[in-house]
Amino acid sequence: MITRDTKVSELLNNPIAKDVLSQLVQYAGINEKVILNPIVKSLKLSTIPKFAGKAMPDADYVIDTMIDLFNQEANTKPLTKTNTHYWWKEAVIYQIYPRSFQDGNGDGIGDLRGIIQRLDYLKELGVDAIWLSPIFDSPNDDNGYDVRDYRAIMTEFGTMADAEELIRQIHARDMRLILDLVVNHTSDEHEWFIDSAKNPQGEHGEYYIWRKPKNGAHPNNWHSFFSGPAWDKVDTRDEEYLHLFSKKQPDLNWENPKVRDEVCSIIDFWREKGVDGFRLDVINYISKTSLEDGSVTLGALLQFSGIEHYFYGNRLHEYLHELRKRAFGEALIVGETPGTGPEMNKLLTADEREELNTVFSFDHLENLGKNRFDDYRYNLNHLKHCLCRVEGDYADYAWPSIFVENHDNPRMVSKINPNEELRDVIAKLLAVLLLTARGTVFLYQGQELGAVNVDFSDMSELRDIESINKFSELIAGGTLPEQAWHTVLCGSRDHSRTPMQWTNEIYAGFSEHEPWIRVGDKDACNVSQQLSEETSVLRAYQELIQLRKDHSALVYGTFEPLESAKEDVFCYYRDNGAERLYIEVNLCARTIKQPKAKGEMELLFSNYMAQGDGLEPYEANIYRVLK
């Protein structure tokens, strides 16, 4: 058990403590080596408040809260290594944002019929499964992540008959379907919440988290991820409800077994229709350990108060295990788990734990001390560090998810280097890193084209509620409009949500009607054009996906980094005993000396037409080791 007499060095043996310390130094922009300093390691937890002084006014509270958190895994048994083969480990999974993929009925909004029209494209690309962002009935406060009815299809997207046809057509092409399931919260227009708000003693009265105001203020000081307090009130109850996201997204009360029964029933409904797996939105937030005030110190560091009470709640494992045994069965379960680290993720996904299959963790998406609203150039050495961390020892116990883009982040090519001349080279470099990685590969629509951020002109062109709220919050805080716009533009989720660019026609082949959000650079980047060019980013993705299928060492082989401490170069072997492949990547915008690798090799892929004496800017090569 961890107590106040525990030394920092001893914390590193605790899986949660190890992750939390790593996360905190990352948010602070401090090198992790600080924790390994002999003086720091020798400190007892009880001495930290004295050393912290005024810089950490609530140090005692933080220490006690962290001790409780760390001790959740005090009796956890060591995990065993595994290399069991599953279809989803070998799969390349393609995420579709339905609203922006293909309009099938001419109203400017993507839909299920539009997706059906493009299934042959996805089959030709080589993907094995399709993950759809939410398609359930929703008032669209957060583009479908606010569900009004889990057993109905969003009107704009089509009908239940369309969904059933989509499932049939996907299976007919020997692909699988994964649905995005949002069960941390619902829409405030869901019948459960409407009844809960009106009838506190009724059937749904305790389906959500309600608390009375405290001393004339909100029940606690938690912040919403979409700006403002995490609590709001209704006219029909004398209590406020918790919403970690939008006011229209009230959090479900997972302490109530009836809520868990409802979730299992929803999963059963869609599994019976043939759905092959589920991506669970912010699933690690479902267990709230307490509703106490969040630490002021942690709130300032993380930018949101209260996270320590719910990012790894004390009943999280219990709830996930229950869902797995009662409902998910053999379906693929992918958890989105913001804030968790590698050791926690092992416990969430190891086969023997029977909870999730893999998780999305986001440490690699921003450099140390940065967030996506910061204006900076992403350093690929950070991605290298993160990949080394999960593809080695971690993957011996739990299977990683490998991705660099999704519907919640700007385009990675733009973050790395906006130089248009390097666009295709960087896009292909990312493809090499993804498709030679040890883990399940997830691609996001448009990524296979080398899509970049959109040159939005002003706030009127944005649709994302987070961006809109962020801008308003900045203005209210005194930020000048020009600077507020610049900040929002850096991190807006709308960069990844503009229509898929199929052609260079007026609406990019997405629709014949003006789309719900503006189109990007369709003339420079579209599917039709890239299919006709053998050296395009799209053709590179097709080639690399097939290469991964042809060489099982790229899936199940060991990961052996070479000279991992060296900056700006990333070299590694993938080896399954029968075959050995070597990958070398230049992580910077200058030519560097080519590392020396042993043995005779055959070049299988390069993002440059010809090889020189060194590695060109962002050059990435794959070799087969012959002897």
pLDDT tens per residue, range 260-274: 999 999 999 999 999
Res 32 pLDDT > 80? no
Closest Cα partner for 432 from 625, 622, 601?
Answer: 622
pLDDT digits (tens, 9 = 90+) for 449-473: 999 999 999 999 999 999 999 999 9
Domain count, the chain: 3
Interval 277-292 mean pLDDT? 97
Last-in-domain residue among 23, 44, 73: 73
**58 found inside a domain:** yes
Contact criterion met (CB below 8 Å) for 21 and 301: no
Confidence of residue 189 (pLDDT cuts 50, 70, 90): very high
Q: How confident is the model at residue 43 (pLDDT cuts 50, 70, 90)?
A: confident
SS3 content of the chain, % helix, strand, coil (to 5): 40, 15, 45
User: Which of 142, 336, 343, 584 is flagged as catalytic?
Assistant: 336
C-alpha–C-alpha distance, residues 100 and 109, integer Å: 7
Residue 23 has pLDDT above 80, yes or no: no
Condensed to tens digits (0 to 9), the pLDDT of residues 307-322 reads 999 999 999 999 999 9
What are the tens digits of pLDDT across the range 392-435? 999 999 999 999 999 999 999 999 999 999 999 999 999 999 99
What's the domain range around 12?
8-73
Mark whether 292 is an active-site residue: no
Q: Which of 73, 90, 121 is the last residue of a domain?
A: 73
Q: Residue 41 has what pLDDT?
A: 83
Q: What was the pLDDT predicted at 56?
A: 80
Contact 592, 612 (CB under 8 A): no
Both tokens assigned to 84 = 């069991």
* pLDDT of 50 over the 80 cut: no
DSSP H/E element including 124: helix 119-125
Examine the residue annotation and report whether 281 is marked as an active-site residue of this protein.
Answer: yes
**Partners of residue 562 on adjacent β-strands:** 571
Of residues 335, 353, 436, 346, the one with CA closest to residue 396: 346
CA atoms within 13 A on the CB side of 267: 27
Reply yes or no on whether the pLDDT at 34 is more than 90: no
- Please give the residue that has the higher pLDDT: either 361 or 166: 166
528 in a domain, yes or no? no
DSSP codes, 504-560 = SSTTTTT-SS--SS----TTTS-HHHHHT-TTSHHHHHHHHHHHHHH-THHHHSEEE
**Residue 595 near residue 583 (C-beta atoms within 8 A):** no
The pLDDT score that the predictor gives to residue 153 is 98
In a domain, 553, yes or no: no
Q: Which residues make beta-bridge pairs with 606?
A: 621
Checking DSSP bridges between strand 92-96 and strand 569-575, what pairing results, if any?
Answer: unpaired
* Residue 526 falls inside a structural domain: no
369: pLDDT strictly greater than 80? yes
Q: How far is CA 426 from CA 217, 555, 620, in A?
A: 50, 23, 9
Quote the mean pLDDT of the chain: 94
Is residue 575 over pLDDT 90? Answer: yes
Last residue of a domain, one of 251, 267, 290: 251
Residue 20 is predicted with a pLDDT of 86
In a domain? residue 37: yes
In a domain, 158, yes or no: no
**Which of 16-30, 327-341, 369-383 has the least mean pLDDT?**
16-30
Q: Is the pLDDT of residue 236 over 90?
A: yes
The predicted model gives 25-30 an average pLDDT of: 70
Return the CA Rg of the chain: 24
Residue 540 within any structural domain of the chain: no
**By percentage, how much of the chain surpasses pLDDT 70?**
99
Residue 73 has pLDDT above 90, yes or no: no
Phi, psi of 153, rounded to the nearest 5 degrees: -95, 140
pLDDT at 364 over 90: yes
Q: What is the pLDDT of residue 15?
A: 85
pLDDT tens per residue, range 81-101: 998 999 999 999 999 999 999
pLDDT digit string (tens) for 144-157? 999 999 999 999 99
Give the pLDDT confidence score for residue 300 in this predicted structure. 85
Helix (H) or strand (E) holding 320: helix 316-323
- Which of the residue ranges 46-55, 142-151, 292-301 has the most confident prediction, judged by mean pLDDT? 142-151
Mean pLDDT of the 249-258 span = 98
pLDDT band at 54 (very low <50, low <70, confident <90, very high): confident
CATH at 224: 3.90.400.10
pLDDT at residue 302, rounded to an integer? 83
In this prediction, residue 399 carries a pLDDT of: 97
pLDDT category at 558 given cuts 50, 70, 90 is very high
pLDDT at 603 over 80: yes
How far, in Å, CA of 414 to CA of 454, rounded? 10
The SS3 of residue 626 is coil
Q: Which residue among the candidates 188, 281, 408, 494 is catalytic per the annotation?
A: 281
Contact 517, 499 (CB under 8 A): yes
211: left (phi over 0), alpha (psi -120 to 50) or beta: beta
The pLDDT score that the predictor gives to residue 426 is 98
Burial class (CB in 10 A: 0-12, 13-18, 19+), 472: middle
Q: What is the pLDDT of residue 89?
A: 97
Q: How far is CA 383 from CA 43, 568, 569, 608, in A?
A: 31, 11, 11, 21
Q: In this model, does residue 39 exceed pLDDT 90?
A: no
In a domain, 194, yes or no: yes
pLDDT for 613 equals 84
CA distance 89 to 107: 38
Q: Is the pLDDT of residue 33 over 80?
A: no
- Report, as an integer, the average pLDDT of 570-591: 97
CATH number at residue 578: 2.60.40.1180
C-beta separation of 419 from 508 below 8 A: no
Confidence of residue 380 (pLDDT cuts 50, 70, 90): very high
Band of the pLDDT at 598, cuts 50, 70, 90? Answer: confident
Q: Is 121 left (phi over 0), alpha (psi -120 to 50) or beta?
A: alpha
